[in-house]
Amino acid sequence: MIVVAILLVVVAVAFAVSIGAHYTGACMGMPYAAGAIQPGRALLLMAPLAFLGAALASGKVEATVGHALLLAPTVALGLALAVVSAAFVLTSAYNLLTVPTSTIQILVFATVGAGLAAGIAVDWSIIGTLLLLWAVAPFAAFALGALFVRVADRLRAPGPATARLGRGAVAGLVGVGAAASFAMGANDVSNASGSLVMTGEFSLVLAALVGGAGLAVGVLTWGRPLLRRVAFDLVRLDARMATSAQLAQSTVLLVAVAFGLFTSMNQALVGAMIGTGVARRQSTVVWKSVRAILVGWSLGPVSGLALGFAFGLLVLRIGWA
């Protein structure tokens, strides 16, 4: 089983690298696009913060993924490999097809699918809690985004989106990008390294360090081409709206992580971005794009469940689980 263990670590680290690169736009894209920070500095700031978020704040989420989704103390190395491989394959495929989905939702339902294939009971109460969180989080981010931008506008009358950034705006944009980078590490590292915890062979700390290192490598190596993908052509943002949206996103993520739960970075950011647009009472929301994203997100859990189940059956058949 040494070969299986090596494959598990390789796939988990590769997935972490992919996640780190993928979320550069969601974390630092808006500060970069607004001219608050240069791309090289953005990535150099993001990489260590993502690692620190994983190392210092992901423990409860790692425990949820590793020990709470399936009602088994540990799972076989092969089954953990099936889970992370299914999540990695689907996330990569959807990224290539530019279909917006949630990595977290894919990972959770890939775990459920693999568990069902192996005859392991699923803790449906945890799944239900996560489903409730995923439903509520975008609306919470929407409300916070609207609140934050209204407060910002009251403190200073809105200026044109093309106005040159002042020092306060630069500091605000870079600050919320930094907060989002830390939150991403805490919230998303378990998508890759939670599979290591499932096996009982890796402690929470070691899994977080391995996954966090993968995130940082992904940011520094492949993050630059993805940095401009702020995301979604949903709302036309000025600096104050961008700062408010990203602050709302980070707040929702860090509150969830504090309770050992995790939610979609992109869904939280979408909700916050729309909230800022609605708060301004401007025709800034591109609802056609919103509908397309909702359709894309519905695919993640279903496909994760199916591929996790298929990969689970495969590793059982070849005797790896």
Lowest mean pLDDT among 55-59, 177-181, 262-266, 281-285: 281-285
Mean of the per-residue pLDDT values of the chain: 90
Q: How would residue 267 be classed by pLDDT, with cut points 50, 70 and 90? A: confident
Res 257 pLDDT > 80: yes
CA distance 122 to 313: 16
CB burial of residue 2 (10 Å; 0-12, 13-18, 19+): exposed
Residue of 306, 235, 305, 238 whose CA lies nearest to 270: 235
Four-point Cα dihedral 228, 229, 232, 238, nearest 10: -30
Res 289 pLDDT > 80: no
Residue 262 CB-half CA count within 13 A: 30
Q: What is the chain's Cα-based Rg?
A: 19
pLDDT 10s digits, 185-214: 999 999 999 999 999 999 999 999 999 999
User: pTM score, two decimals?
Assistant: 0.92
